[in-house]
Amino acid sequence: MTIGLVILAVALAAAFYMAWTIGANDVANAMGTSVGSGALTLISAILLAAVFEFSGAVLVGASVTETISKGIIEVGLFERTGPLGEDGPMLLALGMICALLASAIWLHAATHFGMPVSTTHSIVGAVFGIGIVSFGFRGVDWSTIGQIVASWLISPLLGGVLAFGTFITVRRLILESPDPVAATRRYAPYIIGVVVGVMTLSFIYKVLSRRFEAPSVLLSLLIAAGLGAAVGAVAGAFVRATRPARDAGTFTYVERVFALLQIATACFVAFAHGANDVANAVGPLATIATLYNTGFTEVVGRVGVPTWTLFLGGGGIVLGLATLGHRVIATIGRQITEITPTRGFSAEFGAATTVLIASSLGLPISTTHTLVGGVIGVGFGHGIAALNLATVRRIVTSWVATVPVAAVLAAVLFVVARAVVL
């Protein structure tokens, strides 16, 4: 077996391990509030997430053509020999393998302790470590690191504010009204319409725009408004025709309606996540496969993602959620604050809206941080005493640790691999 084939085999294993940890950590975020509120059982959440994550990864993920360095290092530097005279393309392949392994190891550790962290920040930190070891401080883009640091504040703050505002609106319009059932029937069409509109815009700009040219802003708004109005009208008629069960209390009926909305938003987040974040695992793998096909003689900065890598990544994500996702689900759904369907819906809707707004404005954002901020925001709606501040502190600490820990792990692995292989 040639050294090139060994490197490709190791890359396959590393990419699958990375996908497994993405499923265990990131996907669990999307479903955590639904499980915590009782809208879904753990088994139902895993099954739904498996379907939508895998569908997003395989059906749309092929369009995700990433710069393999995540904007941290200039890949063109590897076209020449390495700093110690090594073969540049081979050095790049080793670097991407070490980045995958380091990122996955950190994600695995964070998941073991139930800490929701950003998988994108993890792989960025790992690539950062590779860049430092290969070319020193001149070989990395510090502006990207600055954006990550800014996202530690921007993501949870925006997510928390919008989730808090959503929950306060729902509480005042429905939960505190004299007749919550009548209020639910009155406002349900508008709430559902807005949710569908936001999800439509997110789908256009976060998913479809990566494969096709995005329609104009006006056309996108018209499409979103039209779908929102149509679905809202149909769903509103259904809600108004549904009567509370005789043995069910008033708030049981209200929470049941919002549980359905919460499940819908969670499924959408899972689909979009599969379409976008599967590249964190298979992007470096696709690059290594391309290097292998060229005999490790040519460096390609941007690569298409082959379908077979998407099946590998999608399968790893599903397996990770099924085997270890329950730890992060427990943190998101039960250990930050008490979650009900109205609160869970507010957190997820606030997070989805935040991601849409921030993406359109070009602001650095982390979906994980945004969702956690949303959960904190709805908890804050009941006062600071409703939050488990010890858990919040542990989560924030894990966020700050992600980039440096992944960078150090990748650097150490890369130094060892370079000494052994080259």
Q: Picking from 58-67, 194-203, 405-414, which range would have the lowest pLDDT averaged per residue?
A: 58-67
Query: In the beta sheet, which residues pair with residue 140?
Result: 73
Which of 120, 168, 121 shows the shortest CA–CA distance to 349? 168
Q: 110 Cβ partners below 8 Å, 6+ apart?
A: 25, 116, 117, 398, 402
pLDDT digits (tens, 9 = 90+) for 236-277: 888 777 766 655 567 788 888 888 888 888 887 787 777 767
pLDDT the model gives residue 64: 46
Q: What is the pLDDT of residues 183-242, one digit of tens each?
A: 988 898 898 899 889 888 877 876 666 666 767 888 888 999 999 999 888 888 887 777
Q: Which residues does residue 301 pair with via DSSP β-bridges, in sequence order?
A: none
SS3 144: helix
Dump pLDDT digits (tens) for 167-182: 999 999 998 899 888 8
Q: Which residues of 121-147 are buried (b: 16+ CB within 10 A; e: fewer)?
A: bbbbbbbbbbbbbbbeeebbbeebbeb
- In whole angstroms, give the CA distance from residue 290 to residue 269: 31
The pair phi, psi for residue 73, each rounded to 5°, is: -125, 155
Checking if the pLDDT of 29 tops 80, the result is: no
Q: For residue 155, name the pLDDT band (cuts at 50, 70, 90).
A: confident
Q: Average pLDDT in the 382-388 region?
A: 85
Residue 68 sits at φ, ψ, to 5 deg, of -65, -20
d(CA 322, CA 329): 11
**Which H or E run includes 349?**
helix 341-361
State the average pLDDT over residues 119-138.
85
Adjacent-strand bridge partners of 67 = 302
Number of Cβ atoms within 10 Å of the Cβ of 166 = 25
**Which one is predicted more confidently, 374 or 26?**
374
**N-to-C CA span, the chain:** 17
Q: Are 230 and 312 in contact (CB under 8 A)?
A: no
- CA-to-CA separations, 390 to 22, 33, 337, 384, 399, in angstroms, rounded: 25, 19, 11, 12, 15
For residue 198, the SS3 value is helix
What mean pLDDT do residues 107-136 have? 89
Task: Return the closest-CA partner of residue 107 out of 25, 49, 29, 28.
Answer: 25
Question: Could you tell me which residue, 18 or 304, shows the higher pLDDT?
Answer: 18
Range of 34-38, 134-138, 402-406 with top mean pLDDT: 402-406
Is residue 306 within 8 A of residue 286, CB to CB? The reply is: yes
Buried b / exposed e along 301-327 (16+ C-beta atoms within 10 A) = eebebeeebbebbbbbbbbbbbebbbb
Q: Model confidence at 99, in pLDDT bands (50, 70, 90)?
A: very high
Average pLDDT over residues 61-67: 51
Give the model's confidence band at 106: pLDDT under 50 very low, under 70 low, under 90 confident, else very high: very high
Residue 212 φ then ψ, to 5°: -125, 165
Most confident of 88-97, 110-119, 235-244, 357-366: 110-119
Q: Do 314 and 54 touch, CB atoms closer than 8 A?
A: yes
Which single residue is written with the structure tokens 């792989």? 123
Q: What is the pLDDT of residue 353?
A: 84
Tokens 């050095």, residue located: 91
